Amino acid sequence: MSTSQPAASRPPEDRTTPDRLLHARTGTDVSPEDLVLASGKDLTPHTLEWARRKLEAEGPAALEKLLP
């Protein structure tokens, strides 16, 4: 029986990702481009304008609302 990792060094299957690794914010400002890309949309003048309005209304929390 061949495995790529010995059983002792494999991470447990039920291990969850620590909360500190799940946050999207890096301490930098959120740009309209960041918001568009996080939403899965293409960068176009229309989506950039949407992102600018959303950031103006909601601030950087707009990005957190889009990401899990």
Q: What is the pLDDT of residues 2-60, one digit of tens each?
A: 556 565 665 556 677 676 665 555 566 889 999 999 999 999 999 999 999 999 999 98
Q: Please tell me which residue, 13 or 67, carries the higher pLDDT value.
A: 67
Angstrom distance (rounded) from CA 3 to CA 10: 10
* Element housing 36 (H / E): helix 32-39
- Provide the pLDDT for residue 2: 55
DSSP state of 67: -
